[in-house]
Amino acid sequence: MTCFTSNGAIFKPHNAMFDVRVTMKYIIVTGGVLSGLGKGITASSIGRLLKGRGLTVTAVKIDPYLNCDAGTMSPFQHGEVYVLDDGGEVDLDLGNYERFLDLNLSSDHNITTGKVYKKVIEKERHGDYLGKTVQIIPHITNEIKENIKRVGEESGADIVLVELGGTVGDIESMPFLEAVRQLFRESGGNENCLFVHTTLVPILGVVGEQKTKPTQHSVKELRAIGIIPDVIVARGERVLEYDIKRKIALFCDVPMEAVVSAPDAESIYLVPSILEEQGLTDYILHKMRIYAPKHTMRKWNNFVKNIVMNMQNPCAEVEIAIAGKYTDLKDSYASHIEAFQHAGSEAQVKVKIRWIEGEDLDVQGATGLLKGIDGLLIPGGFGDRGTEGKIEAVKYAREKKIPLLGVCLGFQLAVVEYCRNVMKWEGANSSEFDSNTKYPVIDILPEQEDVTDMGATMRLGAHDIKLVPECLARDIYGGKATISERHRHRYEVNPEFIEQIEKSGLRFTGRSKDGIRMEIAELAKHPYFMAVQFHPEFKSRPENPSRTHLGLVRAAAEYKSKKKK
């Protein structure tokens, strides 16, 4: 019996009697020892490799925290809040899935403890459980499984990748581990559900020896729960030694070919190749009885080739400053970092980032901190800390003709700076920072359909933007009259001041479909002055970089070239 997917891959279920796919297939990625090992990159890389074999893949990220979503979480603790097309505010790992798999995911693809418990409690209050005692098992675990299955069914994918956040042994993760253990049994076992366990193989500095005990104990903990890993991805500073690999295979009861070395890589985009070279794709396909032909990954491979070239022997190099307020944790700007990698690959320019803290600009000024840069990015953020310094940075870039990209708050501050220093509106500001300003050029946005669970109006998710003819935005977006980008903001340009601002020279070249909301601001007679209310970094892809970041990189390279002459 042979079963075909829509893309030509072949499934051969063990005792199947009909030419239909018997069940959805799942790959569950767990982690041990400590967090931050790269479960998300491992899962994303596996998905990329399976997609390269012609399979359709989707992804689910499980976060065991009690928050319903990442929208209210501090960037200092959790990194950036990643926004999806449907307005979902989710964990930054969803960004890796979208970038590696070239997918647009939805809020359903992010499961949190808060979401699960909230749904179960709502059902209990509604009487859906008919008076039964509501318990972790089966009610919470059933809700988790239903969420995972629903994503698979609605996506129509061949394989669902499920990344379980946290580490084995965490009390928060226990219901989710039990749920995926049950899912394994219910889906038909090894052919339809495969466990990949990511763990740490540290090196003791004293003896320089790779140690397997953390991996052994982590796998022991996992097996005690009832989950037997099929693949072990061993993270470490360097490639696993043969004897260490054999030891892990022996003590953890997996074949040698199922122990995969994942050493530190210069770029996350090299990880799929590292895994592929060790035969991981073939092992997974064999284990799950999927016979998939080789497919081309030409565009992806070209992107990776350019990444390697830019790291080792760049044609050109530029330094772009990111002036933000969360720079102590670089994950707060993860999507901007990746967007610059994507743009650098296409432009064949290596992008070096100079991190500038907004509060340092407040104290030290822009001249010294920004001296020598080739471009400037002012990213999004909330609150007034460091905003005056960033306004000074915008002024510095405007006057020195340095390429500038303002994003969200950066867009708003670019408008404020222009009104203060060009239009001479003393004290012009955002009402977020000064409710008594005479010139509230940035104000709270009007009531609309996007309202968060906390009841606060916020413009979230993908919205269409109309571009005016003959503008820089049209050029960088390939002549398109309408684009779609993702948003996350509460404040925007005050309509009362738009006409006066445009007459003075700052042109709003992108507007919402109804024409009320200003989306893009440009300044004539400047090499690249682009400020956008939306977040272009969220839709940047390795094979299709953010147009605004690509424009900034190219403008920075041209600026540097002219500066040398």
CB atoms within 10 A of CB 546: 28
Active-site option among 191, 346, 537, 549: 537
Residue 161 to residues 25, 41, 62, 230, 476: CA-CA distances in angstroms? 9, 12, 11, 15, 35
Contacts of 427 (CB under 8 A, 6+ apart): 420, 434, 437, 438, 439
Q: Are 217 and 182 in contact (CB under 8 A)?
A: no
Distance between CA atoms of residues 73 and 335, nearest Å: 17
- Angle between helices 280-287 and 39-51 in degrees, nearest 10: 80
Active site residue 535: yes
Residue 133 CA to residue 144 CA, distance in Å, equals: 18
Residue indicated by tokens 């092992």? 283
DSSP letter assigned to residue 221 = H
If DSSP states are collapsed to H, E and C, what string results for 241-257?
A: CHHHHHHHHHHHCCCHH
Task: Let me know if 408 is a catalytic residue.
Answer: yes
Contact assessment for residue 431 and residue 443, using Cβ atoms and an 8 Å cutoff: yes
Q: 331 Cβ partners below 8 Å, 6+ apart?
A: 75, 79, 80, 92
> Which residues neighbour 363 within 8 Å (Cβ) at sequence distance 6 or greater?
389
| 489 in active site | no
CA dihedral 315, 319, 320, 324 (to 10 degrees): 140
Name the active-site residue from 193, 252, 408, 419: 408
Mapped onto helix, strand or coil, the DSSP state of residue 6 is: coil
Residues serving a catalytic function are 408, 535, 537
